[in-house]
Chain A
């Protein structure tokens, strides 16, 4: 019932959005759906002497925190009045606590914004403790920091695993994971199941670090990992010493609905490519439907900068403009590339909006299927 209600709200918002983009929505409705505010007439706020806080829902030193700390300086540089921009960590409930706070606790004056990894799937799965509605947030900007990758030990088969398609002949597959509800578990599981592979699923490693250690000790022989982990540690400690090989990556969906290789990992095939190579046809079946949905809902933007609902339009405009200028600032590009080894892909706002709207039309049966799939142990 709750889910249905939520979907109705989203649906309602979506129809309004569709209307507004044509410029036909009545003025009083526009105010209720701030996403559609026309900011072109608004004058950007001057932040002189203020302090803007970027909330991060995770501990310091992790991927999200690092990105937030790379961005804050450049937001300060490009915001009118060059305010002090600081990062505050408010970790808890896998980021949900900070999302809740930004949604219901923070003042909508543009002085508190949230930098968070956003999955549209999480709210649909109805995790306990969620009190926010994603589509009510004001999106300042979105960034992609690379697709989820899947790896396997090279000595899986008697022969060296050179061709990812050889995975179909591997015996004794053991897939390691972190938590049943994590994308790093869900996608590789669905990928193996969709291929009809026989494997043992061992989850509960406390972090990507521990998973990488387990594949070194041969306790597991396949795992899904983040792109930043791939660039910073997997290549040098696992791939170059010849212990593991990348199998595939789970690509982003583009605006046309296709799944090209992600620009980040252009030298590594997508899961769909390997599937076709093994099966001789495009992926299909209930596991595939679930995987596709998970992919679509995750691949909007890996991280978004969000402002609380109904944030002051003048502040919002200034934030968006500053974000847009920051991500093309060569100084920031150089610094991020220096730290991460690559630069983000900037996701346009209208693409994010379009994808937010689509969640209204999500196939509920598939969502239910994923829920049960996660719950089975």
Chain B
């Protein structure tokens, strides 16, 4: 085995393999940084080049890309509060507050260091525990997969915001949203209301970008503040090296979280989607002082980042050895590896072990390379946090809208993105946590399948007697118990403070019942209507939505009572409905936010006529000139850069399917033969 380990290393180190690995890493970093891009897009672009390549070199190219997107996607999570890929959601909880406090560089430094550590650790630990893998994987059938999903959602629901009931209600809402369109098994499309776009279900990326990015952009645009709420000079410490030191100081946490990432991430079904939340939950629960989590605790960055990179390495072995990919990403990677000549099977652990180890090494080396490159550039990236909002917003708008467009290439993607922008704005203002919705949307169809399959394979409650199901169930209950205990302790602390004459901590700064209550009413209506609409469907199609409708309505009902009480006390303190409304909307800059959204809607309408290649640069110029008050020169330079990027990357490299605008239908007839139409429509 040691010989194979060495041979594998030598295989990777050969020229040109190591060169391809380096290329893959560079490309992976690029993909991770841009919102909406990820492993899938990476494979599209890379695959054509791999045909006819030597397998080991092709593996290196693909794995290099695959291994590091979850390192660089931290940048979007930390700087913008947007989950770059679904794997780095938990990072935003503490990473983004750190950036707002001016500590972006520190957060990035810690994240890249632990990412590299996790990536190497995951690959090597799993390689050393090969004999364990098969039995573990084979004990995970549909009931266990379902319970893992429940565990993941409980974690995110109870940890991602102050109010557990809100978190769990949002998780139920996300699951319900995942049932839109065809179910995997049934032949009846659900909740699509005659709209073709919805038949396929709500796509993840437009929803994520709308939900997280648009409200943040609104904030930056309206207040013209930088991401960091503090000036560069005010911030003390917080350099990259501080982040690296933080990572080293918390090495034991990183080891534990990387272990979680490795072993949970390799489980088939949904293991890899929930590891960052399990790791985050573990960090919170195992810390003596956990009061800073969610407000910028560096451990909240270290834990998920160590875990999600460990997953990439960890899930590789079961994928190649048993053909059992642990995640969608791994499944796509498997497809790509098959094309370039992989023959998965037990031989990968015996006669072909050196090839397997060469893949493990590729991942390990890629992780280290990426971390070094990123640490050296983090200083410059982190400076973005101090730029004025108006300089950042237009570029991000372009990436957000192109990212939303990428997956489906459907005008519905933009509509969904903007709609979720509205929802996200209200959720943010009303203190409803947004991460549970995204995780639930990711897990929804897997959990529904596992739920239905469990019902078909096992009789009655037989499945609940399976040992792993029981263990996960206990962990779920403990998590809930832990959170409730925390809430009770918080209450008694507040009471103590009140008695002592102090004021209760004002962590409701952003949450106002004025914004929360309408959402409660909306959500409970959605749950109830969804359950009623499902009534006539065949059994397999309606079970899951009805269950969710009931559970969701219950959670929202509790929130509704809380909101109602707060609303009443607000009314009495503000002296009536009108002043209360006026106060809340003024504080939330409601009018300006709606104007901003209106601008986006107009941009989409203009796009229908002239197409994306012209509408987005036009919007950028317009925004800079009218909203930002910049001069013509700035507008021209900025929007030309954006236009060049759109043509150069999205059109020429990715062969994106552009919207067939009115102009694109008319222009070919008006222009002479040989006119480069692709530059404009």
Contact = CB atoms under 8 A, between A and B. Distances in A.
Do A and B truly interact?
yes
Interface of A: 49, 51, 53, 59-62, 66, 69-70, 86-93, 97, 105, 127-129, 174, 178-181, 200-207, 209-210, 212-214, 216-217, 219-220, 232-233, 236-238, 240-241, 335, 338-339, 374-375, 377
A339 B51 contact: yes
A281 B51 CA distance: 47
Nearest to B540: A377
Interface stretch (B335-343, B426-434, B604-612): B335-343
A209 B346 CA distance: 16
A142 to B, nearest CB: 22
Nearest to A53: B655
A128 B322 contact: no
A204 B184 contact: yes
Given A90-B409, A129-B196, 14 more contacts: A60-B332, A61-B40, A61-B335, A62-B335, A87-B655, A91-B408, A92-B199, A129-B199, A200-B456, A204-B456, A209-B325, A210-B268, A216-B322, A241-B345
B40 A59 contact: yes
Interface string B320-336: 00111100000110111
B40 A377 contact: no
Contacts of B199: 92-93, 128-129
A154 to B, nearest CB: 15
Nearest to A232: B338
Contacts of A90: 409, 657
Given A88-B655, A129-B196, A377-B538, A203 B185 contact: yes
A85 to B, nearest CB: 11
Interface string B122-144: 00000000000000011111100
A326 B196 CA distance: 36
Interface in B99-142: 137-142
A87 B45 CA distance: 11
A237 B47 contact: no
Contact of A105 (B268, B449, B660): B660
A278 to B, nearest CB: 27
Contact of B43 (A51, A61, A205, A238): A61
A1 B197 CA distance: 26
Nearest to B541: A377
A375 B187 contact: yes
B40 A60 contact: yes
B541 to A, nearest CB: 9
11 contacts: A61-B40, A62-B335, A66-B339, A88-B656, A93-B199, A202-B457, A204-B183, A204-B185, A204-B452, A209-B325, A377-B538
A180 B453 contact: no
A240 B322 CA distance: 12
Contacts of A87: 655
A205 B538 contact: no
A213 B324 contact: yes
Nearest to B318: A213
Nearest to B134: A216
A93 B409 CA distance: 13
Contacts of B452: 204
B138 A217 contact: yes
A216 B138 CA distance: 7
B498 interface: no
B48 interface: yes
B142 A61 contact: no
Contacts of A200: 456-457
B331 A207 contact: yes
A214 B347 CA distance: 21
A148 to B, nearest CB: 19
A188 to B, nearest CB: 15
Interface SS of chain A: helix, strand, loop or mixed? mixed
Contacts of B138: 216-217
Nearest to B342: A232
Nearest to A59: B40
A367 to B, nearest CB: 15
Interface string B255-271: 00000000000001100
A212 B200 contact: no
A236 B539 contact: no
B52 A241 contact: no
B133 to A, nearest CB: 12
Interface in B518-542: 538-540
B438 to A, nearest CB: 19
Interface size class of B (residues with CB under 8 A): 35 or more
A59 B269 CA distance: 19
Nearest to B539: A377
A339 to B, nearest CB: 5
Contacts of B632: none
Contacts of B139: 217
A69 B52 CA distance: 13
B410 interface: yes
B142 A233 contact: no
B44 interface: yes
A210 B322 CA distance: 12
B186 interface: yes
Nearest to A239: B345
B655 A233 contact: no
Interface string B340-366: 110111110000000000000000000
B446 interface: yes
A338 B339 CA distance: 9
A122 to B, nearest CB: 12
B48 A69 contact: yes
A219 B141 contact: yes
B224 interface: no
Contact of B187 (A86, A180, A206): A180
A127 B200 CA distance: 13
Nearest to B673: A49
A251 to B, nearest CB: 25
Contacts of A181: 187
Contact of A217 (B47, B141, B196, B657): B141
B576 to A, nearest CB: 51
A47 to B, nearest CB: 14
B306 to A, nearest CB: 27
Contacts of B269: 210
A147 to B, nearest CB: 19
Contacts of B419: none
B453 A204 contact: yes
B640 interface: no
A240 B347 CA distance: 10
Nearest to B334: A209
Interface in B532-563: 538-540
B445 interface: yes
Given A61-B332, A70-B51, A206-B445, A92 B410 contact: yes
A302 B460 CA distance: 41
Interface string B184-224: 11110100000010011000000000000000000000000
Interface string B20-52: 000000000000000000001001100110011
Nearest to A200: B456
B19 to A, nearest CB: 22
Given A59-B40, A89-B44, A204-B184, A212 B51 contact: no
A206 B346 CA distance: 24
Contacts of B446: 206
B51 A335 contact: yes
B453 A202 contact: yes
Contact of A202 (B187, B339, B347, B456): B456
B613 to A, nearest CB: 16
B184 A236 contact: no
B187 A216 contact: no
A219 B268 CA distance: 14
Contacts of B539: 377
B338 A205 contact: no
Contacts of B445: 206
B131 to A, nearest CB: 15
Given A92-B408, A217-B139, A236-B343, A179 B184 contact: yes
Contacts of A203: 185, 456
Contacts of B322: 216, 237
